[in-house]
Structure 1
Amino acid sequence: MEETETLAGETAERQRLRSRLVDLLNAYSSEANHIGHAFAGRNNLHGPDLHALLAVMHAERAGAPLTPGRLGEAMGLSSGATTAMIDRLERGGHLRRARESTDRRVVHLRYGESGMSLAMAFFTPLAPRTDAVMEKFDVAELQVVERFVQGMVDALLDYRHELRDRG
């Protein structure tokens, strides 16, 4: 009897945590979108522009800068829409095109200096807040959170690709 009660209690707690974590992830996503929209609004950016800038920044951090084609694929945009967006972001100083290969036809997208300055000025006040939260967790706990969040991101990416492939 005790073992059955323990299993039932674990199942109920797992369900409670699942629901609560999904709610928290949704709330986090919503708040991050509000902040992103505020940044976009203050810097005359269109909706997809912020997503493009984040994609370029993440690719640069990973040491694999995006080409315009890969950015368009990642965002689900046509070649023409991608070019128009890159042109707009380049005019605003947010992005720059770089020819870093011996093949001059290959163009990589890099974060522009003035765009990075605007992002730093806007987002730097958020850093102490997020740092204070992370300080409450030891390295092992943060590694678990990292695994969890990465798994959730992978699940979303997988589903997005499935939706794209279904047309």
Structure 2
Amino acid sequence: MDEQSPAMGLVHLLRAVTVEFDLLGAEFAARQGLHPTDVRALIHLLDAARTGTRATPGWLGGQLRLNSAGTTALVDRLERLGLVRRGKDTADRRRVLLEVEEKATELGWTFFGPVIGEVVAAAEGFEEGELETVRRFLTSVLESTGRARSV
């Protein structure tokens, strides 16, 4: 591949952004006494709530590629810290649903809010068509990395 191509430039830039977000996540985890997997779990649970996905421990374990014992330990830890709660599914009372507690959301906004604000401000400097192009690109990248992960 041509390392100087515009497409490879995007790959390198996306990698740099990913590394920066990962470092931010690690700093947040360290400040809160969390493991990086705890932070990823909270992100998955917040995304599930935003999209209306019923987040069960099994679903979360699948997202994180954890076995049942690892998922149980993770959920127990997050519940003990007051960041997640287990609840019953009203449609199937045998099923446990996971929800992020307000405390976790507040901690996240306190730490990540300024960065999110700057990203939103940067996005507001683009026209809607440009944002749609970026959205299509990032969606395609997300799908391709998802396929690579499942191989």
Distance, in Å, in 1 between the alignment partners of 2:102 and 2:121 is: 28
Aligned to 1:45: 34
The answer on whether the counterparts of 1:65 and 1:110 sit within 8 Å (CA) in structure 2 is no
In the other structure, the counterpart of 1:139 is 128
Q: With structure 1 as the length reference, what TM-score do the two structures score?
A: 0.85
Gaps of 5+ in 1: 1-11, 163-167
Q: Give the paired residue count.
A: 149
Q: Distance in 2 between matches of 1:59 and 1:128?
A: 22
Q: Quick one: which of 65, 72, 79 aligns to 1:83?
A: 72
Q: Percent identity?
A: 38
Q: What are the superposed Cα offsets for residues 74-110 of structure 1, whole Å, 9 maximum, x if unpaired?
A: 1111100000000001111111112132422111111
Counterpart pick for 1:98 among 72, 87, 112: 87
> Structure 2: which 5+ runs fail to align?
none
* Aligned equivalents of 2:16, 2:91: Cα separation in 1: 46
The structure whose residues are more often helix, as a share, is 1
Pick one of 49, 64, 76 that aligns with 1:60.
49
TM-score, normalisation: structure 2: 0.93
Indicate the structure (1 or 2) with the bigger Cα radius of gyration. 1
**Correspondent of 2:115 among 97, 119, 126:** 126
